[in-house]
Amino acid sequence: MSNSVAPAVAAPNQEARRAALTRAQICLYVGIAAVVALALITLFVPTSTDDASFHHVGDYFLTADGIPFVLVPAFLLPALRTLQGGRDGRLGLAGIVAMGIGAVVLCGMFVYGLIAATGSSLGPTYVLASAVTIIGVILFAAGSWRVRLLPGWLLAAWPVAWIVGGLLPILSGGQLMLAAVYVVMAVLLPRRLIRRQG
């Protein structure tokens, strides 16, 4: 009797992890595309340097690319939390909440920017929302450290890559560092899950 009940209980958990892995992989592939697009736009497409009306077609591309750019981690973190069985604890949950708040504010700004054809950051709103996403990634990576689903060096590199290649352009071409982190995650995540299950 217990043998027939155990697989029935384990199956939904396995199914939830499989769905979470699929969501995580989709997020990572979309993230790679969005980050590479951002790098190409900032390096090769003329955009306005002021915080006012759009003057170039590149302004629209840059603003539109910001939407998937911030939505990727907002969906990636909950998928990773499921894969980690929630063992990232309160830090992981706080990271998800912070990332979600920052992503919602930034997406709203990007949609408004596309409609109004403006790069206005609404005062300090853009910088503050970007900082909240950075805090979200740092908290989630810290919570994930003890779980070790992803290697420690990757969890240390992720916040650095998000800061350098994210929404506050600190380093020209720094987006490629973030793209590299996403590529490594996409490669390692299924392998490490298989190793843990095996």
Higher-scoring residue by pLDDT: 166, 2: 166
pLDDT at 7: 46
Instruction: State yes or no: pLDDT of 12 exceeds 60.
Output: no
In this predicted structure, the answer to whether residue 197 has a pLDDT above a threshold of 90 is no
* Low-confidence winner among 1-10, 20-29, 123-132, 158-167 (lowest mean pLDDT): 1-10
Q: What is the pLDDT of residue 103?
A: 97
Q: What is the pTM of this model?
A: 0.88
User: Distance from first CA to last CA of the chain, Å, rounded?
Assistant: 25
Average pLDDT score, the chain: 89
Taking only the tens place, the pLDDT of each residue in 27-39 is 999 999 999 998 8
- Contact predicate 181/161, CB 8 Å: yes
More confident: 47 or 36? 36
Q: Give the burial class of 145: count Cβ atoms within 10 A of its Cβ; 0-12 exposed, 13-18 middle, 19 or more buried.
A: middle
Query: Once rounded to an integer, what is the mean pLDDT over residues 2-20?
Result: 65
- Please report where in the chains the tokens 């309160």 appear, as a residue: 90
What is the per-residue pLDDT for 13? 86
Whole-number Å distance between alpha carbons of 113 and 120? 7
Q: What mean pLDDT comes out for the span 44-58?
A: 80
Predicted confidence (pLDDT) per residue in 67-116, tens digit: 999 999 999 999 999 999 999 999 999 999 999 999 999 999 999 999 99
Residue 198 has pLDDT above 80, yes or no: no
Cross-strand partners of 53: 118
